[in-house]
A and B are shown apart, each in its own frame.
Chain A
């Protein structure tokens, strides 16, 4: 058993390390490969870390993610040529979730774009996509915009209902940042860029800071009694409960924003101009419906249905595929997201999930599985 859970490669690849690598190991983290990095998958255990994030607060190191700044007055107009979001309307101190789309209406990556002021845009992209994204962005900038990747910065995420109280002990100013806001704030003497956002469905903060100061701040936050460290295992189960997409699983270059149920990322002004990559395909799907759509799925029993599980309709015809699936610690039940045929997307639709050759009954449910608790 458990070949997939045990190390069986006697010559592990040379992995990149995050600035907090030694700190994670000293805290007892189990390190695994993710997107070419050695990353903590868990410390005391995924279940405990997940439930602690829902109850109090957990600290994640997501320094493997890509960070970059675009500088120059035309930065927002330039980046708008690559995404469907309204970036010209992104005010200083505000952040927005958007997508890099391709010419066939697929998704190159999902990312956060913030306006920190001073004719700059600050970007955070997925670790697994950063080379592709940054090459694509840099190649499409006009001469008046400079691109700078911050491979010398770390990124910490403090998430949970106690996150604001915890951060207020370090900086009252940071605790006042509104949801999807961003500000340059000094935390424990360290100059940080702090955003009120996250990937868990909870209130929380994402903190970009110089790599050499990462350990000092991480330890300062961990010294607060409400906080424990959490790894990528809990990050994944938390985002799945929150109904948030994982690039490579739930969205990819062959999945459109309409299929992914992310039509809301298309800015109002952009819906008049339709001037972003893949706009023709995306517009057609928005107006006439996409052939398939991402939905939430609840299996009836206790058996989890993992990514790539085949979905079958009530009449036995092919219905689609699970793209993320696992066990929800909050609901103590299996949950999944997947793409189903457009005639099967209504809440309550009965489906079967083919798990180990057997059809398990399941039904379509609304997302998220666990309500968001953002500080709106």
Chain B
């Protein structure tokens, strides 16, 4: 799968974050969905919730197991993707696009810049296994 352009960062917890102004869109990486297997249930944070970086704020469940999704950056939840509530399989078919989870308004864009870029994330994934 082609990587999105350069305004995307990644976490060691296998989330991707795309920044538009001060709005960060968050989802799980293609590697993560591959590891999880068939996603059957998603729970998303309430809009307006203040989240701290590394705080558990969403849940993704595959047929095999439940996993937490952590806020990659501190901010306020401003939008969630209802489409993946209705059809969780989109998280598998388009993890780094239509399968996004939520959007947060972030306080600190420097924290975004400090996250891994695509090359660093790919290298990180290589070290796993």
Contacts and interface: CB of A to CB of B under 8 A. Distances in A.
A233 B64 contact: yes
Q: How large is the interface on B (under 10, 10 to 19, 20 to 34, 35 or more residues)?
A: 20 to 34
Contacts of A143: none
Interface stretch (A42-50, A170-178, A336-344, A362-370): A42-50
B65 A5 contact: yes
B65 to A, nearest CB: 6
A4 interface: yes
Contacts of A2: 13-14, 28, 32, 35-36, 60, 67
Interface string B59-72: 11111111111100
Contact of B40 (A7, A41, A304): A304
A237 B15 CA distance: 28
Contacts of A6: 14, 35, 128
A327 B35 contact: no
B50 interface: no
A334 B41 contact: yes
Contacts of A47: 37-38, 40, 63
B43 interface: yes
B129 interface: yes
Interface in A318-337: 326-327, 329, 334
Nearest to B88: A302
Interface string A1-21: 111111100000000000000
Contacts of A326: 63
A46 B63 CA distance: 7
A326 B64 CA distance: 8
A1 B68 contact: yes
A302 B128 CA distance: 32
Nearest to A237: B63
A246 to B, nearest CB: 14
A302 to B, nearest CB: 5
Interface in B22-46: 28, 32, 35-38, 40-41, 43
A376 interface: no
Interface of A, secondary structure class, is mixed
B37 A327 contact: no
Contact of A45 (B35, B37, B43, B70): B37
Contacts of B13: 1-3
B74 to A, nearest CB: 17
Given A1-B28, A2-B36, A6-B128, A303 B14 contact: no
A306 interface: yes
A356 interface: yes
Given A1-B60, A356-B59, A303 B32 contact: no
B68 A5 contact: no
A114 to B, nearest CB: 32
Nearest to A48: B38
Contacts of A302: 40-41
Nearest to A32: B64
A303 B61 contact: yes
Contacts of B43: 303, 356
Contacts of A1: 13-15, 28, 32, 60, 67-70
Nearest to A42: B37
Given A46-B63, A329-B63, A5 B41 contact: no
Most chain A Cβ neighbours within 10 Å, of B36, B40, B41, B43: B40
B64 A46 contact: yes
A163 to B, nearest CB: 23
Interface of B: 13-15, 28, 32, 35-38, 40-41, 43, 59-70, 128-129
15 contacts: A1-B32, A2-B13, A2-B60, A5-B62, A5-B67, A7-B128, A46-B38, A46-B64, A47-B40, A233-B37, A233-B64, A303-B41, A303-B43, A326-B63, A327-B41
Given A1-B60, A233-B63, A303-B41, 7 more contacts: A2-B36, A4-B65, A5-B65, A5-B67, A47-B63, A306-B65, A327-B61
